[in-house]
Structure 1
Amino acid sequence: MEMICAIAELESNRQPLAMGCDKKTNLITIGIMQVAPKVAEWIVREEDYLLFPVEEDPDILYKPFVNVYFGAAYLRWLSNFDGKIRTEEFVVRAYSGGTKKVNHKSTLPYWKRYLQVKECYLSRKQFDGPSPIEAPTFPTSPVSPSKGFDLYWDSRVSSEDMEHMWNHLDVFKEWIKSKEIRGKVRFSCNKEKKPYLSRVELRAIAEIIVSKYFSTRGINPTVLCALADVVSMRFIDGNETSTGLMGIDYSTAFWLYKEMGYRAYRVDYIEDLTNPFVSMYFGAAYLAWLSEYEGRERSLQFIFHAYISGPKNVHLEETCPKWLKFEQILARYERTKRKIEFAR
């Protein structure tokens, strides 16, 4: 994140409408990170970054979200140039002058200025709290104005997933009791009209997602339910600090989708994460990744703390009220599960 901010500062002084031109090559660069349209088109064509149609409309590079998207994509490509893990200095100097001038004296002043600017951002960051979930960062998704604000299941969830819900015995009983009808199932709402899931609905989604996509990963659906209760209190839009049912932000979901191969659901817009199935899917994917963090089998306590604060901020020796709350909620879900299994 600091790298992107520092480079944006150096390239354009954070000016979204900035435009530059290399006098020797006549290469035009655009926007807050001074991305060349030709480079952006190459990234789309060769690296499969398909979120924005830059080939059809190069002027979208003036939009900060789009420009940072391609700037970050180019930085990521440079970080593994020629199949080798590259240093920060290599990446920054290559961004400035190209890979052939990484060791040339012409890119050295840029590197030194970068270090100074980056230090300023790091000094600011010490006053900020950790993000709810730590994972490789990626630009925030643009907002889709037509999605994410409906109070009906069928307007957010696919017909296939709705069919799975209707086929879930406990959900079927609950929805019939509340006189829901196919095609127009209402979310429960609190006094402020914020939609949330019942515990029956939450458990059903967790069970469906695990059985369809994570049956071999040893993920317990009740753990996902308890996490959702702690992170979002089962509100499908999330809360003030996190997005969606499972608190997965767009950057984490996109990283899981793009880099880790979890592609059962698309995440084109941040509002996609207010679909409870999408949020549950990427929450389960992140849980699976954390369970084997750094190649080691991790305890549930580690996974919980890493999910909440990031894997680098785990301190198991400290007492955490959220962990105690999680244990209590998890025990309640486990008791409910046993009662249901016994009744059947």
Structure 2
Amino acid sequence: MSVSFKYWDECADPEDMEAMWNHPEVRTEWTGAGETEGQRVHLSRDPDGQPYLTQTEMRAVAEIVTRRQFDKKLDPEMICAIAELESNRQPLAMGCDKKTNLITIGIMQVAPKVAEWIVREEDYLLFPVEEDPDILYKPFVNVYFGAAYLRWLSNFDGKIRTEEFVVRAYSGGTKKVNHKSTLPYWKRYLQVKECYLSRFLYSSYKFSI
């Protein structure tokens, strides 16, 4: 793999870094880890040396993206839970479907072909994924495309869809929403989402007292 990140600043634009520093919980976490605003911020690494986003960072990215580009019409907890299941919040994660040979990239395991389709469908030219698919490794870019796909699924075929439909379709495609193969994913999603909700409700309580 030619893409590698050591610092947040290598995979996030200055505007994104400013938004992260302005997030109270991220600021608390980063300063507690010895990071200094205006200096490069280290990405956390797992025991294998792979970079990952902390749950606090993941939540912040989801909140910033949904507020900035989706007018808060998507649930940040849904994005966080899916990112947990898809990649363990690892921006450099890569997958490949053995049956279709479809490559998926990044935190939300977005397929470059899906991202290219979203660019054409939404006429969204901010992220030139066709010219440089490696930008999908960047957390804010990847979460944008994952969220855009979730939004599309939520109104699939012009119908307002349930959370279960959206999540199971994200995992296995719209044709396998009711197939037994996507049910375990849905159950794990509910468990992970509940953990996120509990964690951040507690964090919000701490910040309010």
Q: Same fold (TM over 0.5)?
A: yes
What letter matches 2:111 in structure 1? D
What letter matches 2:93 in structure 1? G
- The answer on whether the counterparts of 1:232 and 1:238 sit within 8 Å (CA) in structure 2 is yes
- Cα distance per residue 1:296-320 (max 9 Å; x no partner): 0111111011111111222166772
Show the counterpart of 2:109. 247
- The answer on whether the counterparts of 2:87 and 2:93 sit within 8 Å (CA) in structure 1 is yes
Q: Following superposition of structure 1 onto structure 2, how do residues 40-51 of structure 1 map, counting pairs within 5 Å? A: none
Show the counterpart of 2:193. 330
Q: Following superposition of structure 1 onto structure 2, how do residues 8-47 of structure 1 map, counting pairs within 5 Å? A: none
1:312 aligns with 2:167: no
- The answer on whether the counterparts of 1:302 and 1:316 sit within 8 Å (CA) in structure 2 is no
Show the counterpart of 1:299. 162
Show the counterpart of 1:265. 127
Root mean square deviation of aligned Cα: 1.8
Q: 1:215 aligns with which of 46, 62, 71?
A: 71
- Displacement of 1:263: 3.6
CA distance in 1, matches of 2:182, 2:48: 33
- Cα distance per residue 1:41-83 (max 9 Å; x no partner): xxxxxxxxxxxxxxxxxxxxxxxxxxxxxxxxxxxxxxxxxxx
- The answer on whether the counterparts of 1:262 and 1:285 sit within 8 Å (CA) in structure 2 is no
Percent sequence identity is 34
Show the counterpart of 2:101. none
The structure with higher relative contact order (CA 8 Å, sep 6+) is 2
- Cα distance per residue 1:238-285 (max 9 Å; x no partner): 243331001101111111012223344332322101100000001110
SS in structure 1 of the partner of residue 169 of structure 2: helix
Q: Following superposition of structure 1 onto structure 2, how do residues 25-174 of structure 1 map, counting pairs within 5 Å? A: 148-174=3-29
| Higher CA-based Rg | 1
- Cα distance per residue 1:182-221 (max 9 Å; x no partner): 33111111122111000000000000001111125x2110
- The answer on whether the counterparts of 1:187 and 1:196 sit within 8 Å (CA) in structure 2 is yes
Q: Say how many residue pairs are matched.
A: 198
- Displacement of 1:329: 0.4
- The answer on whether the counterparts of 2:82 and 2:108 sit within 8 Å (CA) in structure 1 is yes
- The answer on whether the counterparts of 2:154 and 2:166 sit within 8 Å (CA) in structure 1 is yes
- The answer on whether the counterparts of 1:237 and 1:245 sit within 8 Å (CA) in structure 2 is yes
1:231 aligns with 2:86: yes
Show the counterpart of 1:284. 147
Show the counterpart of 1:206. 62
Q: Which residues of structure 1 form unaligned runs of 5+?
A: 1-142
1:175 aligns with 2:30: yes
SS in structure 2 of the partner of residue 208 of structure 1: helix
Cα 1:225–1:319, aligned 2, differ >3 Å: closer, same or farther?
closer
CA distance in 2, matches of 1:318, 1:196: 28
Q: Which residues of structure 2 form unaligned runs of 5+?
A: 97-103
- The answer on whether the counterparts of 1:301 and 1:316 sit within 8 Å (CA) in structure 2 is no
What's the TM-score, normalizing by structure 1?
0.55
What's the TM-score, normalizing by structure 2?
0.88
CA distance in 1, matches of 2:106, 2:182: 27
